[in-house]
Amino acid sequence: MATYPSTLGAAPKSFFLSNSLFNISLGTATPSRISSVKAAGECWTKHPAWTNVRQERWEGHLAVEGHLPTWLNGTYLRNGPGLWEVGDHSSHHIFDGYATLVRISFRRGCATGAHRQVESDAYKAARAHGRPLHREFSQLCPSEPGTLLDRVRDVVGLASGTLLTDNANVSVLPLGDGRVLCLTEATKGSVLIDPETLDTIGKFRYADRLWGLLQSAHPVVTGNELLTLLPDMFRRGHRVVRMAAGSNERKMVGRVHCRGGQAPGWVHSFAVTEKYIVVPEMPLRYSLAGVLKSQMTPWYLFDWLPESGSYMHAICRFTGKTVASVEVPPFMALHFINAYEQGDAIIADCCEYYADPSVIKALALRRLRSPGMNNDAFPDVRVARFSIPLDGTLMGELETVLDPEVHGRGVEMPSINPAYQGKEYRYVYACSARRPCNFLNCLTKIDLGEKEAKNWHELGSVPSEPFFVARPGGSDEDDGVVISIVSTMEGDGYALLLDAMTFQEIARVRLPYGLPYGFHGCWIPENV
Ligand SMILES: CC(=O)/C=C/C=C(C)/C=C/C1=C(C)CCCC1(C)C
Ligand SMILES: CC(/C=C/C=O)=C\C=C\C=O
Ligand SMILES: [Fe+2]
């Protein structure tokens, strides 16, 4: 890869990571093909999707292959982990990586782009000390093995939150008031960024007294407010809160009581309908010892307790009252797709792992970097539909929506047309699978009405969340494009644009090199 003289001011102290010099550069993206064909195993081991980002930051013009729609004017942002090795330290899990933001801006058929590390305290401390000093998803004990006093200090630091990470590597979202927030599941990991320069502006300070170490990293942002959940470790439930656009103050909507086990179920995401907030309670529950002390369970910070039951709760967005709390068949889901009201029930769709939490183990870096893709280690996952009765019935239902073979028994990182959030809808865009695979390697458009799917796949490529952007003024649900950032086995990277209706490729916007796998993106239309 060519590097360019920096025009962005003084470079930060350079340091070596994975044999690459971390520096800043500015330039024009050109493909960096590896000419010699390596053995497939070696390429998966070194795939950019789980290899450290090459540089601290880059920005420049991007070459376009194909044609960008002239109506596509705005900025696509994506957040996710991008740096797992610091000094001699290697992270264990994909969720541990320090946040890398990516920006692709579209204007009248042209594109520019950038990537940059989020300057969290955890990232800056790790850089300064050559090892992590904060506790990440799979890394509990920040001290080097030491005295009893060190250990006591760690336990106090974790319980009080001072040693918890603020590495905001899960999502990025516009608050609807010009501010853009990056999030992780620690409340202190709420970081404001500049969507153009990708500068870290600083911590987002909540101006309220809703104390709590944890939050959902997947708030639901509507036109005028943000809805989110704050897990309550001690009273076994979740506080449901809202924050109006333009405000820093969260206000209580209501409280959901979890019904099983000793601790609330892990909620990575939840769904809302027009009237209700739907809160899942799965048997993968927070481990009090895992979160608050230096102790790891076989499931990282969680316990898998199928005998503690699975439940779905719904509370009214306006009164805060729990309107349903029903037992459902056992389930394991990280991402809810959408929910809506239908007659006397709530329908809630999710990507469901057949009540098996092993996906979190499948995302350990050692597994992803293992040479064989042929052992098909990514667990089966389906589109599953909950029916939550609102008439007082005690049990809810869970069914598979369509034959999972049509999307390769893989469906994750879903997106929909945001105009259909909370409403009956037909199309889901998601990562899917061409088996055998150890990680999702396809994109899919699922038609929930016809129960069929269209897939996009290229051998050796890892595409991230396919994000739907609607054509302004379009009336069909699938009138728009889908944007996904793809990293290839050869080390290349590009933003792929698919026509959301036909799921055919319309353009590739070339990045200077393949980027690490990102989790969630957002769209900021121009002039808004
Ligand atoms: C990306 C994804 O699916 C989930 C990521 C979850 C993370 C990074 C969660 C991290 C944490 C907890 C679950 C509890 C303790 C705090 C913290 C390490 C942020
Ligand atoms: C489950 C997951 C990331 C969750 C983050 O929000 C990623 C799975 C990717 C599989 O290919
Ligand atoms: Fe997520």
Q: Which two tokens stand for residue 509?
A: 């916007």
| Best of 137, 267, 282 for a ligand 1 pocket test (most atoms within 8 Å of beta carbon) | 137
Q: Which two tokens stand for residue 485?
A: 């950032």
Answer yes or no: is 37 within a domain: no
DSSP 3-state of 245: coil
Which residues, including other chains, have CB under 8 Å from residue 114's CB and lie 6 or more apart?
A: 57, 58, 59, 60, 102, 103, 197, 198
Contact between residue 365 and residue 321 where contact means Cβ atoms under 8 Å apart: no
H-helix segments, 277-349: 288-292
Interatomic CA distance for residues 415 and 498, integer angstroms: 14
* Cα three-residue angle 396-399-403, rounded to 5 degrees: 170
- pLDDT over 60 (residue 34): no
Question: Per-residue pLDDT tens for 299-337?
Answer: 999 999 999 999 999 999 999 999 999 999 999 999 999
> What are the residues facing 415 on neighbouring strands?
429
Answer yes or no: is 23 within a domain: no
Binding-site residue numbers for Fe cation are 218, 268, 335, 520
Instruction: Measure Cα distances from 467 to 177, 226, 377, 518 in Å.
Output: 21, 20, 25, 12
Atom of ligand 1 nearest to the CA of 266: 13
Interatomic CA distance for residues 491 and 239, integer angstroms: 44
Name the residue among 124, 81, 125 with its Cα closest to residue 102.
Answer: 81
User: What CATH number should be reported for the domain holding residue 109?
Assistant: 2.130.10
The alpha carbon of 414 and the centre of ligand 3 are apart by a number of angstroms equal to 9
Q: How many separate domains does the chain show?
A: 1
Give the pLDDT band (50/70/90) at residue 524.
Answer: very high
Instruction: List b or e across 478-506, with b for residues whose CB sees 16 or more CB atoms inside 10 angstroms.
Output: bebbbbbbbbbbbbbbbbbbbbbbebeeb
Amino acid at 186: A
Question: Per-residue pLDDT tens for 337-357?
Answer: 999 999 999 999 999 999 999
Name the residue among 403, 411, 418 with its Cα closest to residue 478.
Answer: 418
The alpha carbon of 190 and the centre of ligand 3 are apart by a number of angstroms equal to 15
The alpha carbon of 289 and the centre of ligand 3 are apart by a number of angstroms equal to 24
Answer yes or no: is 394 within a domain: yes
Please report, rounded to a whole number, the percentage of residues in the chain having pLDDT higher than 70: 90
**Minimal-distance CA residue to ligand 1 atom 16:** 186
CB atoms within 10 A of CB 422: 22
Confirm or reject: Cβ of 95 under 6 Å from ligand 1.
yes
Confirm or reject: Cβ of 412 under 6 Å from ligand 2.
yes
Give the pLDDT band (50/70/90) at residue 293.
Answer: confident
Answer yes or no: is 21 within a domain: no
Confirm or reject: Cβ of 22 under 6 Å from ligand 1.
no
Q: Which two tokens stand for residue 329?
A: 């068949």
Is the ipTM higher than 0.85? The answer is yes
Q: Which two tokens stand for residue 469?
A: 């952007």
Question: Per-residue pLDDT tens for 199-239?
Answer: 999 999 999 999 899 999 999 999 899 999 999 999 999 99
The alpha carbon of 185 and the centre of ligand 1 are apart by a number of angstroms equal to 5
Confirm or reject: Cβ of 122 under 6 Å from ligand 1.
no
Answer yes or no: is 405 within a domain: yes
| Best of 332, 359, 413 for a ligand 2 pocket test (most atoms within 8 Å of beta carbon) | 413
Name the residue among 421, 375, 440 with its Cα closest to residue 94.
Answer: 440
Confirm or reject: Cβ of 185 under 6 Å from ligand 1.
yes
Answer yes or no: is 24 within a domain: no
The parent domain of residue 190 ranges over 48-525
Answer yes or no: is 43 within a domain: no
Answer yes or no: is 512 within a domain: yes
